[in-house]
Each structure stands twice: as structure tokens, then as C-alpha cells.
Amino acid sequence: MRTLRSEFPSFDPKQKAWQDSHCHLDFADFDGDRDAMLARAQAAGVDRFLVPGVRQAAWARQFELGSHYASWHLAFGLHPYYTAEHQRADLDELPQWLERGALAVGEIGLDRTVDDFDKQLKFFQAQLSIAESLQLPVILHHRKSLDVMHKLVRESGVRDGIVHAFSGSYEQAQQWLDLGFRLGVGGVVTYPRAQKTRATLARVPAAGLVLETDSPDMPLQGYQGQRNEPARVAEVFQSLCALRR
């Protein structure tokens, strides 16, 4: 049986092939060269991609694109960035998409920089309930919200998933690991100025880490202003290995 953990294993400094556990390959940013982008990733040793959903209006296109690529695995969710457009009916529809072979519920979460935090809370808790009922892991987005999210996830009963683009303290990292989650490691690990996050990622167990890019966003150091691509998982891996020596 395919699961999030089997298809997207934890960081291992001895691994020779990699997976991108968080990339939005359905976004229009890739419409002009999607096949070439995937070929570059595969040439770099990246062989699997988890493509999370962010809004109901894009789920059908995401599913259609995913059906063309055996290397894609999908998650479906309602991202806090799009809180203004989310409707109650979207929550009713979400389980139908998840039951089409999705590996996780996501990308979901809480973001203090986005308006209407009360609505975010309601949609986040509803999606946690769906994940728990379907026994699926969750892909979590956070911004200035790690602690309140941890409380809500703990209360929900969900005990598996990935905290995408983790940027918290060592103590927060341990709280999530103790809950059964892994931490997503992407381009931030390549920036020396990200001292707190790098120090945390150097200390936590390797089994608690998973590689990602967040393509087309969150470019690595040296690629600022450019579209991010899954091929750069290899560079994230190299940076993480160097940090943990």
C-alpha cells in the first residue's frame, strides 16, 4: 500500500535518489515547460513528487495533470492563502477528491499574515477532522502559528504528516516530532542567515526530516528571483548533509 512515508521517506545522508515532498507542479508557472522541468529533475536524481492542492477551483486540473505523470502523488486541501474564496461546500467535496488515491490532506494550515484568522481556524479544524476520519496524514503550512497549530493537531487525533518549510525552534521541532510528524526541509537550509532554523535542523534526528522545494516558490540561495524547481532537491540534500556533518 502506498503511503506518505513509503513514497517520501525521511532524509538519509546515504541516499542516491531523492523525492520532492512539496512542489506545486500544477501551477501555471510550469505550463510552458512542464515536461522539460520534470526531465531536469529526473536527470538530477529526483524521482517522485508530492503535489499538494490549495483551492477547490484547482483540484480538477491538478488531478487531470497528475493522471499523466506516474511520478506525481497528490494531496488535496484548502490553503489559508485562499481563505477569502473557500466555501463550506468545498469541505463537503474534499473527501471525494481525497478518496481518489491522495496520500495526504494538504496543503492546510494557519497563517497570521492572512486576513480572517477565525475563518482559517474553522477550515483548518474541519480539514483535520476529515484527515482523522479518513486516517490520512496532513501537510501543514504555518506562519507565526506553530504553537496554536500544534495544540489543534494534538486535539484532533491526527498523528502523521509533514510540517512544511519548518522554521521554528528546536523545542518546537521536538514537539512536532513527538506528535509523529516530520519537518519539511527546503531552500531555507541553504541560507547562512537562517541561523535558528539551521541550528535546529542540524540537531534533530534524521528520521524526522524530509526534503522539499515548494516549487515554484522559496528559491535556494543563489537563485533569488528565479522560479524554483524540484531538481534543486539535490542541492537541498547537499546543504543539509554539510550542515549535519
64 assigned ligand-binding residue: no
142 assigned ligand-binding residue: no
CA–CA gap between residue 38 and residue 162 (Å, rounded): 23
Neighbours of 58 (CB within 10 A): 17
CA 199 to chain centre: 21
Nearest partner of 187 among 242, 109, 241, 240, judged by Cα: 240
107 assigned ligand-binding residue: yes
24 assigned ligand-binding residue: yes
22 assigned ligand-binding residue: yes
79 assigned ligand-binding residue: no
Q: State the binding site.
A: 22, 24, 107, 141, 164, 214
Q: State the binding site for a divalent metal cation.
A: 22, 24, 107, 141, 164, 214
